[in-house]
């Protein structure tokens, strides 16, 4: 495990209950994010392969949401504390500890991957390998929805996230990475600043050809 992953895992393990209490109902006040997740779920259902990974699932609230939207979703997370909480909170669903760069998933077996602010802690130079792993597990025609902090500058920006160091991305640069990984970005949504830093909430949908 590389240094940043060790730091991230330890940081999230230390705030499991606080994080879960803060984010369990947060999408109720985020209609744009809800709409993108709903659109993602509808498109995945249209592929007739509803098996979906919620990567970086945290306490499992979005895994449960995806199942409620008709997907056969399971959660993966680097933090054993988060996985333990998710299993308690959602005992009918499947959760496993795993790295996004090395998912315990067969090649081409998924109709969807949700990465909701779960790639933000990955350094820019490591992101292509992480995206390649998402492509590996997606079936042809499968979809990925990536949400992250967007910046209007030309380069990704490292910042002190409240949990662990993170990066914001220009949406065009991130879309180029998706294309380079073998995906076809086809929809994006940017909206009001996500924090006092002025970053935009950014959501990008892409498909594996």
Kindly list the domain boundaries of the chain, sorted by start residue: 3-207
CATH topology of domain 3-207: Rossmann fold (3.40.50)
Over the stretch 1-39, which tens digit does the pLDDT of each residue have?
457 777 677 666 666 676 767 666 777 778 999 999 999
Sign of CA dihedral 64, 83, 206, 183: negative
Residue 151 makes CB contacts below 8 A (sequence gap 6+) with 157, 168, 169, 170, 199, 200
Q: Are 62 and 147 in contact (CB under 8 A)?
A: no
Helix axis angle, 127-137 to 171-180, nearest 10°? 50
- CA-based Rg of the chain, rounded to a whole angstrom? 16
Over the stretch 52-84, which tens digit does the pLDDT of each residue have?
999 999 999 999 999 999 999 999 999 999 899
pTM of the model: 0.92
Over the stretch 92-124, which tens digit does the pLDDT of each residue have?
999 999 999 999 999 999 999 999 999 999 999
């Amino acid at each position: 495990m590389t240094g940043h992953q060790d730091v991230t895992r330890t940081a999230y393990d230390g705030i499991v209950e606080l994080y879960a209490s803060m984010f369990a109902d947060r999408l109720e006040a985020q209609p744009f994010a809800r709409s993108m997740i709903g659109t993602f779920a509808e498109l995945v259902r249209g592929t007739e392969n509803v098996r979906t990974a919620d990567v970086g699932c945290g306490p499992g609230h979005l895994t449960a949401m995806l199942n409620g939207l008709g997907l056969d979703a399971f959660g993966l997370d680097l933090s054993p504390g988060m996985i333990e909480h998710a299993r308690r909170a959602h005992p009918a669903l499947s959760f496993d500890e795993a790295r996004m760069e090395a998912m315990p998933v067969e090649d081409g077996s998924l109709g969807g991957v949700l990465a909701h602010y779960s790639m933000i802690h990955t350094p820019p130079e490591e992101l292509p390998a992480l995206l390649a792993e998402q492509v590996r597990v997606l079936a042809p025609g499968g979809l990925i929805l990536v949400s992250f902090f967007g910046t209007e500058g030309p380069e990704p920006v490292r910042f002190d996230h409240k949990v662990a160091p993170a990066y914001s991305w220009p949406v065009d640069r991130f879309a180029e990475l998706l294309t380079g990984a073998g995906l076809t970005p086809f929809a994006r949504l940017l909206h009001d600043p996500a924090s006092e830093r002025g970053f935009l909430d950014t959501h990008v949908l892409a498909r594996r050809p």
